Structure formats: C-alpha cells, structure tokens
Amino acid sequence: MGRSLVTGGCGFVGSHLVKRLLDDGEDVTVVDAFPPAKHLGVVGEHARFVQGDITDRDTLLQACQGVDTIYHLAAVVGVDRYLSAPLEVIDTAMVGTRNVLDAATATGARVLVTSTSEVFGKNPNVPWKEDDDRVLGSTAADRWTYSTSKALTEHLVFAYGRQHGTAATIVRYFNVYGPRQRPAFVVSRSIHRALNGLPTVVYDDGGQTRCFTYVEDAVDGTVRAARSDKGIGEAFNVGSMTETTVSEVVALIGSLTGTGPASKVDTATALGRTYQDLARRVPDNTKARKVLGWSCPTTLTEGLSRTIEWARTAPWWLDQADSGAAA
C-alpha cells in the first residue's frame, strides 16, 4: 500500500482511521496540534507523529512530502466549542483546509476532506442528497459557525479541483459515535454520565432525530472514498439512514447500562439564544452505496454495546469532565 498523512490523527475519528490504514499496511504520518496520549499507542508506536497546527503552512507542506494520500480530519468539533470558541472553529476550518489543499496541489497527493451533516442546516426536506439546499439560521448565532465554515471548505475543495486539477473528495459524517469520543455528544456524553452514576440528559423534549453511525463504518466509507477514482471531485454522505429520536437513543443507553430515566434541560435557559438545535438530520446515502460499494452494517444496539463495553475498561475516559452541550 501507499503512504498516507492524517491531519487530526490523534482525535476521535482520526485515531480510528490511523489504525485502519496501519492494518491495511500503509505507512502513516499523523499531524496534530496535540501529542498522542497513552491510549493512542497506535499513533505513537506505529505511525510517524508530527506535532503542528494545520494553520502553519510550512509545517504541513513539509510533512506532506512523499505522501500519496492526505486525509484531512483536523477540526474544532462540538456544540460546546462552537459556542465558546467560534473564531477557532472558523480559522481551523478555513486556513487549515486551504493549507491542506495547497500541500496536496504542490505534491500531487490525493486528498480526502471530511465535512459534516451540519452543512445542510435546517433544511426540512429529509433525507438529504449530496446536492440538496442549505438552510441556515442567523449569522448572529454561533451555532452556525461550524456549518458555514465547513461549507466554505467544501467550496474550496471543488474550486481547487476545477482551477488546479487537485484530486480531492469530500465525505460528510452523520453523528458518528464510538470508543474514545469526547463526552460532549449525545451518545458519548450519555454513556459517560451513565457509567459515572449521573443521570443522562435530554435537551428540550428529546424529539430531535439523528442517524447514528458507528465509527468503524464511517472510517470504512472514508477509506473507500479516498481510494476510488470515481470519487474524485465528488461529495458523499457517510451515515446511517436509520432515524432515531434523541430520547430513544438515550433511553437505549439507559437500558444497556442499567441506569434510570434521563433528566430534561431547556436549551434556551441553559445555552442561551446563540444555540439553535436541528429537528431532523437524515442522509440519503445512496450515492456512497452505489459509487463506493459502502454499507453501514452496525446496528445502533450493537454499536452502543461495543462502545459501552469499551468505556467500562477506560478509566482515563471516564475521568474526563462532562463537556456540556451535545449535538
């Protein structure tokens, strides 16, 4: 196999991707602003690590020399961070992605850029196909900084392809969950609280729906997209099409962990008016299935059971602070 570079390779999805690439026999380099923790031994022991911020153009370009494929995952993720550090969210997405695309163009590497289901915003017409419209809230609401900055990075990807011939592909993740995810999201936070003896939390009435995607399935879609010549210049929705309410997934976690009912939080009171939730978030993954031969076989019960089993053996993760807002 070839040589790959993963930005954000010490993060949640990034670390799972690194393991997959190493298992496939690839030579892997990781660029991340933070050094790999002990629980990410696969990065420190079997992949070359370069500590650096992707907004540092020279560091990134040097790290990309001789690389065949760049997997760009580095981003500032999580509703709590959208609300507390919107400038960091925007700068990392925009400056970092442009540097990645410049490096790919200069070195001739193939590049896979990860995006998000949030680019569709509040479009009520689900399931969303890749080219469906974006419907967003006010620019005064920090909630939309991630959605908007990620959409602009997608514009960069398509522009580089058209103007410079850069071989680039986009994948959009839909509510990915699994082992090692920071406890700031619906699934990870609920498991974290349950195993720490705290009540799980549901925002508002819990009727919001999501399509939860197990991390190994998301990584498989990512790798397939990066290796497919048919994927160049294309975007793919990588997510389960099984729609589940937040109340249902939190209740299932309660059942699997043996904990009590969830407590409810009013978002307007707890998070303020700069927070806006999404009623439904459902992909149409037909394109990924047809073009990439990708599937999403892990059921929610199976994926949650695996994640809970792992969490019970990870004291370092259980000891983390509750990160607040979940998407």
What are the per-10-residue average pLDDT scores of the chain (327 residues)? 93 95 96 80 78 94 97 87 84 95 97 97 95 92 89 98 98 97 94 95 88 98 98 98 96 94 69 67 97 97 98 94 66
Predicted pLDDT of residue 216? 98
Answer for the pair 97, 52: CB distance below 8 angstroms, yes or no. Answer: no
> How far are the Cα atoms of 9, 17, 22, 158, 251 from residue 43, in angstroms, in the given order?
8, 10, 10, 31, 35
Token readout for 170 is: 């986009």
CATH code, 3-174+215-240+283-296: 3.40.50.720
Q: Which of 71, 82, 146, 177 is catalytic?
A: 146
Answer for the pair 207, 268: CB distance below 8 angstroms, yes or no. Answer: no
Backbone angles phi, psi at 236, to 5 degrees: -130, 135
Predicted pLDDT of residue 223? 98
- For the chain, the three-class secondary structure string (H helix, E strand, C coil) is CCEEEEECCCCHHHHHHHHHHHHCCCEEEEEECCCCCHHHHHHHHHCEEEECCCCCHHHHHHHCCCCCEEEECCCCCCHHHHHHCHHHHHHHHHHHHHHHHHHHHHHCCEEEEEEEHHHHECCCCCCECCCCCCECCCCCCHHHHHHHHHHHHHHHHHHHHHHHCCCEEEEEECCEECCCCCCCCHHHHHHHHHHCCCCCEEECCCCCEECCEEHHHHHHHHHHHHHCHHHCCCEEEECCCCCEEHHHHHHHHHHHHCCCCCEEECHHHHCCCCCCCCCCCCECCHHHHHHHCCCCCCCHHHHHHHHHHHHCCCHHHHCCCCCCCCC
pTM score, whole prediction: 0.94
Predicted pLDDT of residue 1? 73
Predicted pLDDT of residue 278? 76
Task: Say how many residues make up the chain.
Answer: 327
146 is catalytic: yes
> Which residues sit opposite 30 in a β-bridge?
6, 49
Q: How far apart are CA 225 and CA 118, in angstroms?
A: 20
In the chain, where are the structural domains located?
3-174+215-240+283-296
Predicted pLDDT of residue 268? 59
Predicted pLDDT of residue 263? 80
